[in-house]
Amino acid sequence: MSRLHNLLELSKRKMKKLIVAAADDDVVLSAIKLSCEYQIVSPILVGPKSDIEKFSKEVDLDLSCCEIVDVPKDQAAVRAVEIASKNGDLLMKGSVKTSDLMKIVLQEEYGLRTGATITMVSVFDIPSYHKLLAITDAGMIIAPTIEQKIDMINSSVKVMKKLGVEKPKVAVLGAVEIPNVKMPATIDAAILSKMNDRGQIKDCIIDGPFALDNAISFQAARHKGIESVVAGDADILIMPDIEAGNIFYKAMVFFANAKVASVILGAKLPVVLTSRADSDETKLYSIALAAMLT
Protein backbone atom coordinates (compact mmCIF):
# COMPACT_ATOMS: atom_id res chain seq x y z
CA MET A 1 0.00 0.00 0.00
CA SER A 2 1.50 3.32 -1.04
CA ARG A 3 -1.27 5.75 -0.07
CA LEU A 4 -3.66 5.98 2.87
CA HIS A 5 -6.81 6.21 0.78
CA ASN A 6 -6.25 2.54 -0.08
CA LEU A 7 -7.14 1.80 3.55
CA LEU A 8 -10.77 2.54 2.84
CA GLU A 9 -11.13 -0.14 0.20
CA LEU A 10 -9.17 -2.68 2.23
CA SER A 11 -11.27 -2.13 5.34
CA LYS A 12 -14.60 -1.68 3.55
CA ARG A 13 -17.39 -4.00 4.75
CA LYS A 14 -15.29 -5.38 7.59
CA MET A 15 -18.08 -4.40 10.01
CA LYS A 16 -15.89 -4.56 13.10
CA LYS A 17 -17.66 -3.94 16.38
CA LEU A 18 -16.53 -0.47 17.53
CA ILE A 19 -17.32 0.59 21.10
CA VAL A 20 -17.33 4.38 21.59
CA ALA A 21 -16.73 5.60 25.14
CA ALA A 22 -18.78 8.74 25.88
CA ALA A 23 -20.17 9.09 22.38
CA ASP A 24 -21.95 12.38 23.10
CA ASP A 25 -19.48 14.28 20.93
CA ASP A 26 -20.12 15.81 17.50
CA VAL A 27 -16.51 15.34 16.35
CA VAL A 28 -16.52 11.62 17.10
CA LEU A 29 -20.01 11.08 15.67
CA SER A 30 -18.93 12.78 12.46
CA ALA A 31 -16.19 10.16 12.14
CA ILE A 32 -18.68 7.39 12.94
CA LYS A 33 -20.93 8.65 10.14
CA LEU A 34 -18.13 8.29 7.58
CA SER A 35 -17.07 4.86 8.83
CA CYS A 36 -20.69 3.65 8.64
CA GLU A 37 -20.93 4.85 5.05
CA TYR A 38 -17.95 2.64 4.20
CA GLN A 39 -19.37 -0.18 6.38
CA ILE A 40 -16.05 -0.40 8.20
CA VAL A 41 -17.60 -0.71 11.66
CA SER A 42 -20.77 -1.59 13.49
CA PRO A 43 -20.79 1.08 16.24
CA ILE A 44 -21.99 0.75 19.82
CA LEU A 45 -22.37 4.28 21.20
CA VAL A 46 -22.08 4.45 24.99
CA GLY A 47 -23.27 7.52 26.88
CA PRO A 48 -26.36 9.65 27.54
CA LYS A 49 -28.84 8.70 24.82
CA SER A 50 -30.48 12.13 24.58
CA ASP A 51 -27.14 13.85 24.03
CA ILE A 52 -26.00 11.24 21.51
CA GLU A 53 -29.22 11.75 19.55
CA LYS A 54 -28.83 15.53 19.67
CA PHE A 55 -25.23 15.49 18.37
CA SER A 56 -26.13 12.87 15.76
CA LYS A 57 -28.69 15.24 14.27
CA GLU A 58 -26.07 18.00 14.14
CA VAL A 59 -23.73 15.85 12.02
CA ASP A 60 -26.54 14.13 10.07
CA LEU A 61 -25.69 10.65 11.38
CA ASP A 62 -28.41 8.06 10.77
CA LEU A 63 -28.48 6.16 14.05
CA SER A 64 -30.07 3.11 12.42
CA CYS A 65 -26.52 1.84 11.81
CA CYS A 66 -25.67 2.14 15.51
CA GLU A 67 -26.59 0.62 18.84
CA ILE A 68 -26.90 2.99 21.79
CA VAL A 69 -26.13 1.98 25.36
CA ASP A 70 -27.77 4.64 27.52
CA VAL A 71 -25.71 5.40 30.63
CA PRO A 72 -24.89 8.60 32.54
CA LYS A 73 -21.88 10.55 31.29
CA ASP A 74 -19.72 9.69 34.30
CA GLN A 75 -20.27 5.95 33.76
CA ALA A 76 -19.75 5.87 29.99
CA ALA A 77 -16.01 5.09 29.93
CA VAL A 78 -16.27 2.19 32.37
CA ARG A 79 -19.31 0.73 30.62
CA ALA A 80 -17.64 1.04 27.20
CA VAL A 81 -14.54 -0.81 28.39
CA GLU A 82 -16.72 -3.51 29.95
CA ILE A 83 -18.52 -4.04 26.65
CA ALA A 84 -15.31 -3.93 24.62
CA SER A 85 -13.61 -6.48 26.85
CA LYS A 86 -16.42 -8.98 26.33
CA ASN A 87 -17.78 -8.27 22.87
CA GLY A 88 -15.76 -5.70 20.98
CA ASP A 89 -13.14 -5.46 18.25
CA LEU A 90 -12.17 -1.80 18.69
CA LEU A 91 -12.49 0.90 21.33
CA MET A 92 -12.77 4.61 20.54
CA LYS A 93 -12.44 7.63 22.77
CA GLY A 94 -15.34 10.05 22.81
CA SER A 95 -15.77 12.99 25.18
CA VAL A 96 -13.56 11.53 27.90
CA LYS A 97 -9.95 12.31 28.75
CA THR A 98 -7.42 9.99 27.14
CA SER A 99 -5.70 9.35 30.47
CA ASP A 100 -9.00 8.49 32.16
CA LEU A 101 -9.98 6.03 29.43
CA MET A 102 -6.58 4.32 29.26
CA LYS A 103 -6.47 4.00 33.05
CA ILE A 104 -9.69 1.97 32.86
CA VAL A 105 -8.43 -0.09 29.90
CA LEU A 106 -5.38 -1.10 31.95
CA GLN A 107 -7.31 -2.23 35.02
CA GLU A 108 -6.73 -5.96 35.46
CA GLU A 109 -10.41 -6.78 35.95
CA TYR A 110 -11.14 -6.14 32.25
CA GLY A 111 -8.46 -8.50 30.96
CA LEU A 112 -7.22 -6.14 28.24
CA ARG A 113 -3.63 -5.88 29.41
CA THR A 114 -1.00 -7.79 27.47
CA GLY A 115 2.16 -6.73 29.29
CA ALA A 116 3.29 -4.70 26.28
CA THR A 117 3.83 -0.96 26.39
CA ILE A 118 0.82 1.11 25.36
CA THR A 119 2.04 3.15 22.41
CA MET A 120 0.66 5.34 19.66
CA VAL A 121 1.56 4.46 16.07
CA SER A 122 0.83 7.07 13.39
CA VAL A 123 1.01 6.32 9.67
CA PHE A 124 1.61 9.30 7.38
CA ASP A 125 0.92 9.79 3.71
CA ILE A 126 3.32 12.67 2.96
CA PRO A 127 3.14 14.11 -0.56
CA SER A 128 6.93 14.55 -0.77
CA TYR A 129 7.82 11.07 0.52
CA HIS A 130 7.86 8.04 -1.76
CA LYS A 131 5.84 5.71 0.48
CA LEU A 132 3.85 5.51 3.70
CA LEU A 133 5.83 6.40 6.82
CA ALA A 134 4.99 5.30 10.38
CA ILE A 135 6.21 7.03 13.53
CA THR A 136 5.99 6.24 17.21
CA ASP A 137 5.40 7.76 19.70
CA ALA A 138 3.70 11.13 19.31
CA GLY A 139 1.14 10.92 22.06
CA MET A 140 1.56 8.33 24.81
CA ILE A 141 5.09 7.67 26.09
CA ILE A 142 6.83 10.77 27.44
CA ALA A 143 10.44 9.56 27.65
CA PRO A 144 10.66 5.95 26.43
CA THR A 145 13.17 3.56 27.94
CA ILE A 146 15.00 1.14 25.68
CA GLU A 147 12.57 -1.61 26.76
CA GLN A 148 9.65 0.60 25.75
CA LYS A 149 11.33 1.39 22.43
CA ILE A 150 11.47 -2.34 21.70
CA ASP A 151 7.69 -2.51 22.21
CA MET A 152 7.28 0.64 20.06
CA ILE A 153 9.23 -1.06 17.27
CA ASN A 154 7.23 -4.28 17.56
CA SER A 155 3.90 -2.43 17.45
CA SER A 156 4.86 -0.28 14.48
CA VAL A 157 6.27 -3.29 12.61
CA LYS A 158 2.93 -5.07 13.14
CA VAL A 159 1.14 -2.09 11.58
CA MET A 160 3.42 -1.81 8.56
CA LYS A 161 3.29 -5.55 7.86
CA LYS A 162 -0.51 -5.27 7.80
CA LEU A 163 -0.08 -2.50 5.24
CA GLY A 164 1.96 -4.79 3.02
CA VAL A 165 5.56 -4.00 4.01
CA GLU A 166 7.15 -7.43 4.35
CA LYS A 167 10.25 -6.36 6.32
CA PRO A 168 9.96 -2.74 7.48
CA LYS A 169 13.05 -0.55 7.67
CA VAL A 170 13.24 1.07 11.10
CA ALA A 171 15.26 4.26 11.69
CA VAL A 172 15.93 5.09 15.34
CA LEU A 173 16.25 8.86 15.53
CA GLY A 174 18.57 11.16 17.41
CA ALA A 175 20.28 14.48 16.71
CA VAL A 176 23.43 12.93 15.23
CA GLU A 177 24.50 9.76 13.42
CA ILE A 178 27.27 8.68 15.79
CA PRO A 179 26.57 7.26 19.27
CA ASN A 180 27.38 9.86 21.92
CA VAL A 181 27.25 9.08 25.64
CA LYS A 182 25.93 12.60 26.26
CA MET A 183 22.95 11.86 24.01
CA PRO A 184 21.11 8.81 25.43
CA ALA A 185 18.86 8.47 22.36
CA THR A 186 21.91 7.74 20.20
CA ILE A 187 23.12 5.01 22.58
CA ASP A 188 19.64 3.44 22.57
CA ALA A 189 19.70 3.48 18.78
CA ALA A 190 23.04 1.67 18.63
CA ILE A 191 21.87 -0.98 21.10
CA LEU A 192 18.58 -1.55 19.25
CA SER A 193 20.47 -1.92 15.97
CA LYS A 194 22.78 -4.54 17.48
CA MET A 195 19.85 -6.40 19.05
CA ASN A 196 18.27 -6.57 15.61
CA ASP A 197 21.52 -7.86 14.10
CA ARG A 198 21.50 -10.66 16.68
CA GLY A 199 17.87 -11.58 16.02
CA GLN A 200 16.56 -10.27 19.34
CA ILE A 201 14.16 -7.93 17.52
CA LYS A 202 12.64 -9.67 14.51
CA ASP A 203 10.74 -9.07 11.29
CA CYS A 204 12.41 -5.75 10.50
CA ILE A 205 15.72 -4.05 9.71
CA ILE A 206 16.84 -1.56 12.36
CA ASP A 207 19.59 1.03 12.05
CA GLY A 208 20.58 4.17 13.89
CA PRO A 209 21.20 6.60 15.24
CA PHE A 210 19.96 8.74 12.38
CA ALA A 211 19.22 12.43 12.23
CA LEU A 212 15.85 12.85 10.54
CA ASP A 213 17.23 13.97 7.17
CA ASN A 214 19.43 10.90 6.80
CA ALA A 215 16.56 8.56 7.61
CA ILE A 216 14.27 9.90 4.88
CA SER A 217 16.56 11.44 2.24
CA PHE A 218 18.91 9.39 0.03
CA GLN A 219 20.70 12.59 -0.93
CA ALA A 220 21.31 13.67 2.66
CA ALA A 221 22.57 10.21 3.58
CA ARG A 222 24.98 10.19 0.61
CA HIS A 223 26.34 13.61 1.57
CA LYS A 224 27.08 12.27 5.05
CA GLY A 225 28.66 9.11 3.63
CA ILE A 226 26.13 6.90 5.41
CA GLU A 227 25.87 3.40 3.98
CA SER A 228 22.73 1.65 5.19
CA VAL A 229 19.71 0.02 3.58
CA VAL A 230 17.57 2.06 5.98
CA ALA A 231 19.11 5.47 5.19
CA GLY A 232 16.81 7.51 2.97
CA ASP A 233 14.25 4.71 2.79
CA ALA A 234 12.80 4.33 6.29
CA ASP A 235 9.35 2.81 6.75
CA ILE A 236 9.28 3.56 10.48
CA LEU A 237 10.77 6.36 12.59
CA ILE A 238 11.33 5.74 16.31
CA MET A 239 11.19 9.08 18.09
CA PRO A 240 13.50 9.82 21.02
CA ASP A 241 10.70 11.35 23.13
CA ILE A 242 7.14 12.60 22.99
CA GLU A 243 8.15 16.18 22.22
CA ALA A 244 9.98 15.14 19.07
CA GLY A 245 7.13 12.87 18.04
CA ASN A 246 4.43 15.45 18.70
CA ILE A 247 6.27 18.22 16.86
CA PHE A 248 6.94 15.93 13.88
CA TYR A 249 3.27 14.86 13.78
CA LYS A 250 1.94 18.41 13.73
CA ALA A 251 4.59 19.67 11.33
CA MET A 252 3.66 16.97 8.83
CA VAL A 253 -0.06 17.74 9.08
CA PHE A 254 0.05 21.54 9.14
CA PHE A 255 3.17 22.29 7.05
CA ALA A 256 3.45 19.28 4.74
CA ASN A 257 -0.29 18.65 4.13
CA ALA A 258 0.18 15.02 5.15
CA LYS A 259 -2.71 12.65 5.68
CA VAL A 260 -2.45 10.53 8.82
CA ALA A 261 -4.02 7.59 10.63
CA SER A 262 -3.23 6.83 14.27
CA VAL A 263 -3.98 3.94 16.60
CA ILE A 264 -3.10 3.04 20.18
CA LEU A 265 -1.64 -0.46 20.50
CA GLY A 266 -0.44 -2.64 23.34
CA ALA A 267 -3.82 -3.70 24.75
CA LYS A 268 -5.81 -6.70 23.50
CA LEU A 269 -7.75 -4.48 21.12
CA PRO A 270 -6.78 -1.31 19.23
CA VAL A 271 -7.90 2.03 20.64
CA VAL A 272 -8.82 4.94 18.35
CA LEU A 273 -8.16 8.44 19.68
CA THR A 274 -9.18 11.52 17.74
CA SER A 275 -8.51 15.17 18.43
CA ARG A 276 -10.93 18.00 17.70
CA ALA A 277 -8.16 19.43 15.50
CA ASP A 278 -8.06 16.28 13.36
CA SER A 279 -9.84 16.37 10.02
CA ASP A 280 -12.78 14.04 9.33
CA GLU A 281 -10.49 12.27 6.87
CA THR A 282 -7.92 11.60 9.59
CA LYS A 283 -10.58 10.20 11.90
CA LEU A 284 -11.90 7.95 9.16
CA TYR A 285 -8.42 6.69 8.27
CA SER A 286 -7.71 6.02 11.96
CA ILE A 287 -10.84 3.91 12.33
CA ALA A 288 -10.01 2.06 9.11
CA LEU A 289 -6.45 1.37 10.27
CA ALA A 290 -7.65 0.04 13.62
CA ALA A 291 -10.17 -2.18 11.84
CA MET A 292 -7.40 -3.66 9.68
CA LEU A 293 -5.40 -4.59 12.76
CA THR A 294 -8.08 -6.83 14.29
* Helix or strand (DSSP H, E) at 18: strand 16-21
Does the domain formed by 6-113+267-292 have CATH 3.40.50.10950? yes
Decide if 124 contacts 245 (C-beta within 8 A).
Answer: no
> Could you tell me the residue ranges of all domains in the chain?
6-113+267-292, 121-254
* CATH ID of 121-254, from 3.40.718.10, 3.90.700.10, 3.30.565.10, 3.40.50.300: 3.40.718.10
Model confidence at 149: pLDDT above 80: yes
- Please give the pLDDT value at position 51: 96
The DSSP symbol for 117 reads P
Q: How far is CA 102 from the centre of its chain?
A: 14
Q: 60: left (phi > 0), else alpha (psi -120 to 50), else beta? A: left
Cα 145 to Cα 150: distance, rounded to the nearest angstrom: 9
- List, for residues 82-133, the tens digit of each pLDDT value: 999 999 999 999 999 988 999 999 999 999 999 999 999 999 999 999 999 9
For the segment 222-238, what is each residue's pLDDT rounded down to a tens digit? 999 999 999 999 999 99
Share of residues in the chain with pLDDT > 90 (%): 87
Contact 35, 23 (CB under 8 A): no
Q: What percent of the chain is predicted at pLDDT more than 70?
A: 100
Same CATH fold assignment for domains 6-113+267-292 and 121-254: no
The pLDDT value given to residue 271: 96
Reported confidence tier of residue 277, pLDDT bands at 50, 70, 90 = confident
* Neighbouring residues of 214: CB distance < 8 A, sequence distance ≥ 6: 177, 220, 221, 224, 226, 231, 232
Please give the model's pTM, rounded to 2 decimal places.
0.94
Q: Is the pLDDT of residue 151 over 80?
A: yes
pLDDT of 192: 98
